Structure 1
Amino acid sequence: MTTLPDRPHTALLVLDVQTGVMAGAHDRDGVIANIETLIGKARAEGVPVVWVQHSDDRLPRDSEPWQYVPELACRDAEPLVHKSYADAFEDTELEAVLAERGVGRLVVAGAQTDECIRSTLHGAFVRRYDVTLVADAHTTEDLSEYGAPPPDQVISHTNLYWRWHRAPGRRACTVDTTDVSFAADDAG
Structure 2
Amino acid sequence: MTTLADRSNTALVVIDLQNEVVANAYRRDEVLDTVNTLIARARSAKVPVVWIRHADEDLKAGSEGWQIVAELVPAAGEAIVEKSYRDAFEATDLEQVLSSLSVGKLIVTGAQTDMCVRSTLHGALVRGYDALLVGDAHTTEDLTQWGAPPPDAVIRHTNLYWSNQRAPGRTGGVIESKDVDFASGGC
Q: Please state which band the TM-score falls in when normalised by the shorter chain.
A: over 0.9
2:85 matched residue in structure 1: 85
1:43 matched residue in structure 2: 43
Detail structure 1 runs of 4+ shifted over 3 Å in the superposition: 183-186
1:149-160 aligned at under 5 Å gives the runs 149-160=149-160
2:143 matched residue in structure 1: 143
**TM-score of the pair, normalised by structure 1:** 0.97
1:81 counterpart SS class: strand
Give unpaired runs (5+ residues) of structure 1: none
1:32-71 aligned at under 5 Å gives the runs 32-71=32-71
Would the aligned equivalents of 2:10 and 2:185 in 1 still touch at CA under 8 Å? no
Per-residue deviation, 1:184: 5.3
**TM-score of the pair, normalised by structure 2:** 0.98
Counterpart AA for 1:83: K
Per-residue deviation, 1:57: 1.0
Counterpart AA for 1:162: W
Per-residue deviation, 1:20: 0.2
Counterpart AA for 1:57: E
Per-residue deviation, 1:27: 0.1
Per-residue deviation, 1:7: 0.2
| Distance (Å, rounded) in 1 between the aligned partners of 2:180 and 2:144 | 31
2:173 counterpart SS class: strand
Counterpart AA for 1:135: G
Aligned length: 187
Per-residue deviation, 1:58: 1.0
1:113 matched residue in structure 2: 113
Quick one: percent identity of the two aligned structures? 57
| Distance (Å, rounded) in 1 between the aligned partners of 2:32 and 2:144 | 23
Counterpart AA for 2:29: D
Per-residue deviation, 1:185: 5.4
Cα deviation, 1:141-161, whole Å, max 9, x if unaligned, reads 000000000000000000000
Would the aligned equivalents of 1:105 and 1:131 in 2 still touch at CA under 8 Å? yes
Would the aligned equivalents of 1:10 and 1:184 in 2 still touch at CA under 8 Å? no
Would the aligned equivalents of 2:45 and 2:183 in 1 still touch at CA under 8 Å? no
- Over aligned residues, Cα RMSD in angstroms? 0.9
Per-residue deviation, 1:172: 1.1
Per-residue deviation, 1:182: 2.3
